[in-house]
A and B are shown apart, each in its own frame.
Chain A
């Protein structure tokens, strides 16, 4: 499996990119002597014109490179934690719905459908706006709007595994229903969940940046979306202020998507997107 994954060039590019972002996020305080909030030079310093400030300064004279490094922390943290929370909601709900069927399924799916109908970004905005923007409220809001696809996926997987004969065999062995679900069914749904989770981290990073862009970021945490949002009005005079954070988002999200696709090809070889027989 690792062999298949590592032979996928795209996935390996993704891994390298993501590792770079993770290292920068972890070592941000060592890389930069000043915090991203400190004014270090005159405002609107053009990139590549001064040593030590490779990406220039923003509207308040703060170091853009340092802001990018600290922004990586917020993106990764929110992306990861909100995905975990979404999995914690979606996996049990989907598993119960798919396994028990009937009214449990009916109820759980109506609930999921409801959340899927709501425009998820609008709901995230409403949640963050009402509960005040903090890293916690942002993370939870993103989790709340991201779990429905997980529930649907897990339900579909569980329903297909549940029909297989080894599950009947486990029932005949006298295993209890919860035990069958935990030991026989769920382990067989892990691969697609892993793939989806890696793609969800990417989506969560996009959502977080979009919220910050609208001014709904945690005011105490520097984030890429906030940087672009703050630079929006000065795009004519200082394009780099929006350009670099955008590139950072694209690369990070791209890296996660590449990894997700690599995992998908490695874990579900029969669904390989190359489409060979």
Chain B
């Protein structure tokens, strides 16, 4: 018998939502000890399905029809008290954001022991001992210390481990994991995925694993279902879905995924667009009356060159200093030492006033499409402010803005609209047009596609590839995702803890990495083996 079997489930959205159903007539089953990956982009209804199973649907969202059989009961129709008894004991859940999923004012030990308290199990002392054991089991260091720690004292990966400890506390039969590794760095993600696989092995629970990332699917899934706009479009074993997708949408998603397929190598360029020499930036926090100063070397003596017409990928995990380096290169951050040479001018040495006149030389495409455009300014203003300040006549700047909007695929009439009328991907196109409007010598793209769904990501990457051919752009492409870097870049630079670890052509980095850390990163990329197999 299946651990969980969902039959013809439909979940209704409140009136005024963009569609009537979050999920519509879906059916699937998870067998005991099996990992089922539910894959889909945002809005596919995958999270709603999980929330419905837990009885945690937001107000206004209701189960319209269908049933979910678990231990011979329809858990969608249970009275609230029985649902509550089920939660945490028979079905447990972990969430995407480990930073906010723990109560900031409560010790980790207490939060784990609370699961036992909620279900009235064990004495105080037993609860503590069991919490300690769980902390050990999920591989957290120094359990005696962790049990007394507050969430803010733990890293993201450690918090996710603590969440998993809570979920395991009562040996649930089903674990629902809602994008549990999306917010984590790749190496941490790899560890957490391994932990989940280990625990499944040891405890034999069924896992419903929600993700948008086919790489993750390749790592852990036994079975896969693909969801789109509330419907299941494809299902099957992981192997068959990954290698022989039947549905067009699945195929598009798989194609959109940056694989290890490396672009043909280009001849290196000699003329530098950007030269960074011995760049240093130290962040000091604290310091004051009673507090000692803490120093973080965000960028520690880094030198690199981006050739004219070249795309250099800058890859690293969070805290590696890659973003600081990018922001220093445009002088949004003033470095503590070193040079940033663009067309022979050292941006790092300019005064505020001189800098303003030189700003146009380096432009940036930002990460968050919702924060990078002023909600109260029309698109035309965003695209012409810079050129007009630079001295371009207004009419000419406006004509150019319309032309650029056409080029990035939005149409000239986008100019008179406000940002909220556009989707995330469209906004990112506007951001690219804004950077191009300044005719920069170098564009810095800071995680420019990270916030987008896979299929949109692919479209924006296509646009960037197309633009670089057309305008011979020089781009410093900052990303945490090696797969994305491989798609677009000529060379890749790897950073770790403020230092430049390795720099080389994409082929060198992927096929013949010189440094341990680079090898570690490559190994951590989810689905690396599968991708390699695909590339071969």
Q: Does A187 contact B (CB under 8 A)?
A: yes
Q: A166-B371, A166-B372, A187-B376 are in contact. Are A173 and B438 (CB under 8 A)?
A: yes
Could you tell me the distance between the alpha carbons of A276 and B14 in the complex, rounded to whole angstroms? 12
The answer to whether A165 and B386 have CB atoms under 8 Å apart is no
Q: Does A33 contact B (CB under 8 A)?
A: no
Q: Does A130 contact B (CB under 8 A)?
A: no
The answer to whether B356 and A169 have CB atoms under 8 Å apart is no
Q: A166-B374, A187-B376 are in contact. Are A171 and B59 (CB under 8 A)?
A: no
User: For chain A, which range describes its interface: under 10, 10 to 19, 20 to 34, or 35 or more residues?
Assistant: 10 to 19
Chain A proximity of B417: nearest CB distance (Å): 16
Q: A168-B332, A188-B375 are in contact. Are A174 and B357 (CB under 8 A)?
A: yes
When distances are taken between beta carbons in the complex, the residues of chain B under 8 Å from A168 are: 327, 332, 364, 366
| Interface residue total, chain B, C-beta cutoff 8 A | 31
The answer to whether B389 and A165 have CB atoms under 8 Å apart is no
Q: Does A184 contact B (CB under 8 A)?
A: yes
Which A residue sits closest to B330, measured CB to CB?
A: A172
The answer to whether B359 and A174 have CB atoms under 8 Å apart is yes
Q: Does B100 contact A (CB under 8 A)?
A: no
Within B74-125, the residues touching A (CB, 8 Å) are none
When distances are taken between beta carbons in the complex, the residues of chain A under 8 Å from B389 are: 173-175
The answer to whether A184 and B377 have CB atoms under 8 Å apart is yes
Q: Among the listed A165, A176, A276, A277, which residue makes an inter-chain contact with B366, where contact means beta carbons less than 8 Å apart?
A: A165
Q: Does B367 contact A (CB under 8 A)?
A: yes
Chain B proximity of A248: nearest CB distance (Å): 39
Interface string of B422-435 (1 = CB under 8 A from A): 00000000010010
Q: Does B217 contact A (CB under 8 A)?
A: no
Q: Does B439 contact A (CB under 8 A)?
A: no
Q: Does A170 contact B (CB under 8 A)?
A: yes
Tally of contacts, chain A with chain B, CB under 8 A:
68
Could you tell me the distance between the alpha carbons of A267 and B351 in the complex, rounded to whole angstroms? 40
The answer to whether A165 and B59 have CB atoms under 8 Å apart is no
When distances are taken between beta carbons in the complex, the residues of chain B under 8 Å from A166 are: 371-374, 377, 382
Interface string of B256-276 (1 = CB under 8 A from A): 000000000000000000000
The answer to whether B368 and A165 have CB atoms under 8 Å apart is yes
The answer to whether B376 and A188 have CB atoms under 8 Å apart is yes
Chain B proximity of A235: nearest CB distance (Å): 48
When distances are taken between beta carbons in the complex, the residues of chain B under 8 Å from A187 are: 374, 376-377
Q: Does A164 contact B (CB under 8 A)?
A: yes
Could you tell me the distance between the alpha carbons of A277 and B59 in the complex, rounded to whole angstroms? 7
Within B374-397, the residues touching A (CB, 8 Å) are 374-377, 382, 385-386, 389-390
The answer to whether B385 and A173 have CB atoms under 8 Å apart is yes
Which B residue sits closest to A188, measured CB to CB?
A: B376
When distances are taken between beta carbons in the complex, the residues of chain A under 8 Å from B356 are: 174, 176
Could you tell me the distance between the alpha carbons of A164 and B327 in the complex, rounded to whole angstroms? 14
Q: Does B363 contact A (CB under 8 A)?
A: yes
Could you tell me the distance between the alpha carbons of A165 and B419 in the complex, rounded to whole angstroms? 14
The answer to whether A173 and B359 have CB atoms under 8 Å apart is yes
Chain A proximity of B391: nearest CB distance (Å): 10
Which interface residue of B372, B431, B438 has the most chain A CB atoms within 10 A? Answer: B372
Which interface residue of A170, A174, A188 has the most chain B CB atoms within 10 A? Answer: A174
The answer to whether B434 and A169 have CB atoms under 8 Å apart is yes
Q: Does B60 contact A (CB under 8 A)?
A: yes
Could you tell me the distance between the alpha carbons of A231 and B435 in the complex, rounded to whole angstroms? 70
Q: Does B287 contact A (CB under 8 A)?
A: no
The answer to whether A169 and B376 have CB atoms under 8 Å apart is no
Could you tell me the distance between the alpha carbons of A187 and B376 in the complex, rounded to whole angstroms? 7
Chain A proximity of B404: nearest CB distance (Å): 14
The answer to whether A276 and B60 have CB atoms under 8 Å apart is yes
Which A residue sits closest to B353, measured CB to CB?
A: A176
Chain B proximity of A163: nearest CB distance (Å): 8
Chain A proximity of B508: nearest CB distance (Å): 32
Could you tell me the distance between the alpha carbons of A203 and B340 in the complex, rounded to whole angstroms? 54
Could you tell me the distance between the alpha carbons of A183 and B389 in the complex, rounded to whole angstroms? 14
Q: Does B360 contact A (CB under 8 A)?
A: yes
Which B residue sits closest to A277, measured CB to CB?
A: B58
Chain A proximity of B44: nearest CB distance (Å): 19
A-B contact pairs, 24 of them (CB 8 A): A164-B372, A165-B372, A168-B364, A169-B364, A169-B373, A169-B382, A169-B431, A169-B434, A170-B374, A170-B385, A171-B332, A172-B330, A172-B359, A172-B362, A172-B364, A172-B386, A173-B386, A173-B389, A173-B434, A173-B438, A174-B357, A184-B377, A188-B375, A277-B60
Q: 8 new A-B pairs (CB below 8 Å) besides A166-B371, A172-B359, A188-B376? A: A166-B374, A172-B362, A172-B363, A173-B434, A174-B360, A175-B385, A175-B386, A188-B375
